[in-house]
């Protein structure tokens, strides 16, 4: 998957309208203005995060992300949002939003329905650090705007789960009108399952008949560049929540036997354990830096049976204990 994120010029127009000095933001993000003198400006995930962190540091309003998301920066430009808006029902729209999101940027969305809840889970596939809080707020506010605009109802999420440590809880509760949970394993927006049946007022089968074949072809071409290693990483991230993702579960999720998975990974010069260690390492850094979870809780979420096992593994990765690394990261 190519590490390319569109950075539309309309974004800078919106930032300027809020009173921000766009040139100062770009200097802080170490992104030269000349990078955006092209028809379709793009950046890497790291550059995109740097841009939004610069906006966070420059903006006086902690609710700027909510404001920009509600303004629907991409509702009429983002192909995933367009596919959602013209679907028959909210559920169908959210499924299409999840399916086509990766065509917009290297962010994957899972839609899971169980126990009366529809859970939208978000994961930046090529990120080495936690996304800026302001960016997450913008994305979540944009999803709610699509749902409200599409159904023409004041629909609200049932709950929002954020990986970051507690901050601005009252502001988020007032905007979204729902429970806000912090220190979560993943960034998740939860709707009532019953809401999925709401009709979309802009539904247009003819428009989708024109739009979707091109999107599916682009998605197929995008997936053609993926490797088995990418698929295994995704499977590990998806299944790792309080238990060790056994290779048998990963193989089953990919539709192959354990022996075939081991053989094909070996041909690519890696193993299930190597990839599990890589995903655990990246997830551990994210959880230690962005949340206030205890070391034992982090170890549990990463599937370690004992805290000591996690501590030893982390020391091998970073040369310091998890607690020591967290102190250094906070300095």
* CATH number (domain holding residue 239): 1.10.10.60
- Identify the domain boundary among 197, 216, 244: 197
Domain presence at residue 105: yes
Domain presence at residue 153: yes
Lowest mean pLDDT among 22-31, 207-216, 221-230, 310-319: 221-230
Mean pLDDT over all residues of the chain? 88
Residues 246 and 187 both lie in one domain:
no
In a domain, 12, yes or no: no
Q: How confident is the model at residue 73 (pLDDT cuts 50, 70, 90)?
A: very low
Give CA separation, 309 vs 1, 209, 276, 302, 304, in Å: 33, 53, 14, 11, 7
Residues 168 and 286 in one domain: no
- Please report whether residue 54 resides in a domain: no
Residue matched to tokens 């065509």: 103
SS3 of 101, please?
helix
Mean local confidence (pLDDT), 44-58: 94
Residues 232, 190 share a domain = no
Question: Encoding tokens for residue 236?
Answer: 């590990």
CA gyration radius, the chain: 20
Pick from 181, 168, 130: nearest CA to 290: 130
Percent of the chain at pLDDT > 70 equals: 95
176 and 102 part of one domain: yes
Cα–Cα dist 188/119, whole Å: 6
Q: Residue 75: pLDDT band by 50, 70, 90 thresholds? A: very low
Of 182, 197, 212, at which residue does a domain stop? 197
Domain boundary among 174, 197, 220: 197
Q: State how far the Cα of 57 lies from the Cα of 49, in Å rounded to an integer.
A: 12
Within this chain, do residues 139 and 181 fall inside the same structural domain, yes or no?
A: yes
Answer yes or no: is 29 within a domain: no
Examine the domain organization and report whether 193 and 248 are in the same domain: no
Tell me: do 78 and 189 sit in the same domain.
yes
The parent domain of residue 104 ranges over 62-197
Identify whether 296 is part of a domain. yes
Q: Are residues 68 and 190 in the same domain?
A: yes
- The closest of 37, 157, 40, 31 to 105, measured between CA atoms, is 40
- When divided into structural domains, the chain yields a total of 2
Question: Which one, of 252, 246, 249, 231, lies nearest residue 303 by Cα?
Answer: 246
Same domain, 154 and 257: no
CB of 8 closer than 8 Å to CB of 78:
no
Q: What is the pTM of this model?
A: 0.78
Gap between the Cα atoms of 168 and 271, Å rounded: 42
Highest mean pLDDT among 71-75, 220-224, 309-313: 309-313
Tell me, yes or no, whether 165 and 265 share the same domain. Answer: no
Same domain, 322 and 257: yes
Which residue is listed with tokens 């979707």? 212
27 found inside a domain: no
Same domain, 186 and 237: no
């Amino acid at each position: 998957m190519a590490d390319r994120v569109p950075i539309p010029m309309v974004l800078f127009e919106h930032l300027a309208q809020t009173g921000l000095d766009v040139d100062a933001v770009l200097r802080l993000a170490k992104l030269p203005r000349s990078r955006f003198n092209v028809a379709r400006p793009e950046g890497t995930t790291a550059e995109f995060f740097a841009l939004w962190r610069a906006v966070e540091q420059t903006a006086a309003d902690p609710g700027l992300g909510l404001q920009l998301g509600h303004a629907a920066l991409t509702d009429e430009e983002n192909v995933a949002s367009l596919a959602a808006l013209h679907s028959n029902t909210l559920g169908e729209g959210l499924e299409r939003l999840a399916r086509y999101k990766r065509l917009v940027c290297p962010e994957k969305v899972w839609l899971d329905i169980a126990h009366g809840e529809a859970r939208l889970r978000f994961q930046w596939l090529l990120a080495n650090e936690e996304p800026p809080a302001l960016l997450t707020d913008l994305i979540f506010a944009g999803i709610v705007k699509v749902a409200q605009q599409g159904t023409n109802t004041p629909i609200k999420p049932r709950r929002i789960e954020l990986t970051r440590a507690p901050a601005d809880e009252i502001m988020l509760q007032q905007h979204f009108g729902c429970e806000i949970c912090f220190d979560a394993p993943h960034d998740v927006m939860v709707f009532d399952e019953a809401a999925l049946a709401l009709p979309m007022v802009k539904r247009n089968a003819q428009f989708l008949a024109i739009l979707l074949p091109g999107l599916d072809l682009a998605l197929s071409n995008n997936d053609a560049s993926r490797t088995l290693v990418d698929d295994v990483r995704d499977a590990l991230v998806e299944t790792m929540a309080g238990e060790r993702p056994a290779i048998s579960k990963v193989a089953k999720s990919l539709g192959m036997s354990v022996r075939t998975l081991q053989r094909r990974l070996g041909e690519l010069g890696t193993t299930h354990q190597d990839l599990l260690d890589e995903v655990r390492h990246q997830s551990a850094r994210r959880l230690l830096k962005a949340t206030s979870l205890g070391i034992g809780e982090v170890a549990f979420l990463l599937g370690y049976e004992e805290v000591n096992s996690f501590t030893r593994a982390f020391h091998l990765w970073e040369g310091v204990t998890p607690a020591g690394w967290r102190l250094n990261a906070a300095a």
